[in-house]
């Protein structure tokens, strides 16, 4: 159901415009549920994203479809569960690593076929082999990196430097339209923004509706931020200070892109969506000084779990949708939605037909435009041995882990999120029949994912390194 920012007021719902919107999809990396001020953060502010939420819809129960980056990005761009899109785990970062299969359509492909100009500026992480690159998945022009993480100033992928196998040597990873480029010393968040702004200008010159995908790699490690941002937060401890600086840089960047959209006269007719790929990282490599303690810089708010976990701290994310011509501002909506819903929602807004595609997501326009609650549905997740589902307010986690490499917390954990947002109380014994019913549903769904994986997407059948590989 819906609640609204201003108590005692109701939004004025708008007629659906006939003009197709431009679509901007913002994504951040390893950002916790609690790390925007519109989501309750109190030690730093994100005024541009707060304004975007206030002028549109803030979703309290927005879910990524995976607790790690590659599968969550696959779901976002394909409208499918990760296992149905062919990407189930973190993809390798060496230059022959494959990823998103070429036969799986993306939102960029669908919108390009609707006459949209399609652009990407940021982190891809859906494969480096030629068939998996952005230009083979619908993006006419693109800029960014393709592995899981890079140094923000040298743009070198260092992750595998101390690991055996492909990728053992550091690899430069900065590209534009498939060609390697060099921008030594330039802060990557700001480069993403510069290219995104130029892509918007390019589309405006063409007088063509556009889809602009802006996946920031911040605040993923390495924890780098320019001094002008770090100086804003000298009062915070180091780990939190750099996190705040990196997110503040993203917030300013979103503000710059949207200001340019307004300057181009496109503000009313632009749909903007913001979310994150998964929960905050506890990985020790965040520290940059050899510290082996878990990293504490990111916040999942009151949620349980972090990146890699199927408790809500690993998968529940900030979610914002803004479209002034069609979506009333000031809405705060609490029905569960997911990143895979972006594909059918954006395609519907563009005048396309979602039924022409294999999709697991649902069109959210009736929810955000007409106050129609989405049809009841189960949502599912899987990550290694973990499987989870949500039905209404009930959230089931099987073999749930709090962080990577940790032992399972419980074989079966059932929480009622209506009065236990943090999944602190296991109510599996309160209604054993319900627990068994949910368990069987989750296991049946997982079995279907496994069967399709072996039949269609298995790395052995593809000759790739996908499921279970390292970044």
Give the orientation angle of helix 69-78 with respect to helix 342-349, to 10 degrees: 30
Residue 224 known to be catalytic: no
CA distances from 460 to 216, 382, 455, 457 (A): 32, 20, 11, 8
Residue 255, preceding bond cis, omega within 30 degrees? no
Catalytic residue among 38, 41, 48, 69: 69
Chain CA centroid to CA 186, Å: 24
For 409, other C-beta atoms within 10 Å of its C-beta total: 17
pLDDT tens for each residue of the chain, 471 residues long? 343 444 444 556 677 778 999 999 999 999 999 999 999 999 999 999 999 999 999 999 999 999 999 999 999 999 999 999 999 999 988 888 899 999 999 999 999 999 999 999 999 999 999 999 999 999 999 999 999 999 999 999 987 655 555 556 889 999 999 999 999 999 999 999 999 999 999 999 999 999 999 999 999 999 999 999 999 999 999 989 999 999 999 999 999 999 999 999 999 999 999 999 999 999 888 888 888 888 889 999 999 999 999 999 999 999 999 999 999 999 999 999 999 999 999 999 999 999 999 999 999 999 999 989 889 999 999 999 999 999 999 999 999 998 777 788 889 999 999 999 999 999 999 999 999 999 999 999 999 999 999 999 976 555 444 444 444
Pairing of strands 22-28, 175-176: unpaired
Model pTM?
0.94
Q: Which residues of 73-83 are buried (b: 16+ CB within 10 A; e: fewer)?
A: bbbbbbbbbbb
The angle at the Cα of 67, spanning 336 to 136, to the nearest 5 degrees, equals 95
Residue 41 known to be catalytic: no
DSSP string, 249-281: HHHHHHHHHHHHHHHTT-STTEEEEEEESS---
Catalytic residue among 94, 125, 224, 322: 125
């Amino acid at each position: 159901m819906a609640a609204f920012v201003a108590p005692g007021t109701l939004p004025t719902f708008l007629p659906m415009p006939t003009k197709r919107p431009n679509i901007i999809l913002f994504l951040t990396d390893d950002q916790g549920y609690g790390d925007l001020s519109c989501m309750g953060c109190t030690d730093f502010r994100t005024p541009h994203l707060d304004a975007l939420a206030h002028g549109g819809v803030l979703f309290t129960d927005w879910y990524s479809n995976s607790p790690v980056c590659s599968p969550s990005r696959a779901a976002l761009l394909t409208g499918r569960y990760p296992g149905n899109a062919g990407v189930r785990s973190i993809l390798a970062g060496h230059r022959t690593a494959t990823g998103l299969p070429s036969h799986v359509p993306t939102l960029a492909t669908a919108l390009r076929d609707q006459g949209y100009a399609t652009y990407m500026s940021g982190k891809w992480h859906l494969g480096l082999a030629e068939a998996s690159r952005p230009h083979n998945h619908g993006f006419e022009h693109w800029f960014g990196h393709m592995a899981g993480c890079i140094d923000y100033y040298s743009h070198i992928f260092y992750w595998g430097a101390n690991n055996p196998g492909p990728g053992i040597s550091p690899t430069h990873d900065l590209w534009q339209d498939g060609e390697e480029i060099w921008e030594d010393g330039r802060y990557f968040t700001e480069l993403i923004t510069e290219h995104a702004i130029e892509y918007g200008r390019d589309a405006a010159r063409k007088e063509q509706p556009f889809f602009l995908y802006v996946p920031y790699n911040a605040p993923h490690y390495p924890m780098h931020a320019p001094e002008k941002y770090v100086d804003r937060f000298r009062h915070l401890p180091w780990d939190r200070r750099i996190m705040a600086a990196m997110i503040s840089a993203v917030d300013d960047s979103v503000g710059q892109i949207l200001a340019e959209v307004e300057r181009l006269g496109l503000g009313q007719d632009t749909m903007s969506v913001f979310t994150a790929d998964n929960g905050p990282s506890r990985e020790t490599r965040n520290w940059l000084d050899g510290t082996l303690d878990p990293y504490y810089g990111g916040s999942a708010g009151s949620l349980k779990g972090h990146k890699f976990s199927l408790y809500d701290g690993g998968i529940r994310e900030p979610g914002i949708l803004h479209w002034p011509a069609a979506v009333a501002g000031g809405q705060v909506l609490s029905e569960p939605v997911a990143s895979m819903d972006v594909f059918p929602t954006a395609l519907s807004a563009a005048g396309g037909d979602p039924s022409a595609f294999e999709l697991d997501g649902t069109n959210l326009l009736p929810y955000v435009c007409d106050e129609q609650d989405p049809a009841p549905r189960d949502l599912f997740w899987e990550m290694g041995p973990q499987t989870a589902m949500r039905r209404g307010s009930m959230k089931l986690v099987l073999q749930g882990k709090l962080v990577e490499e940790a032992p399972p917390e419980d074989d079966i954990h059932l929480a009622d999120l209506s009065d236990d947002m943090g999944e602190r109380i296991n109510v599996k014994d309160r209604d054993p029949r319900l627990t068994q019913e949910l368990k069987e549903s989750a296991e049946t769904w997982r079995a279907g994912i496994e069967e399709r994986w072996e039949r269609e997407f298995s790395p052995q059948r593809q000759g790739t390194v996908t499921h279970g590989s390292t970044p």
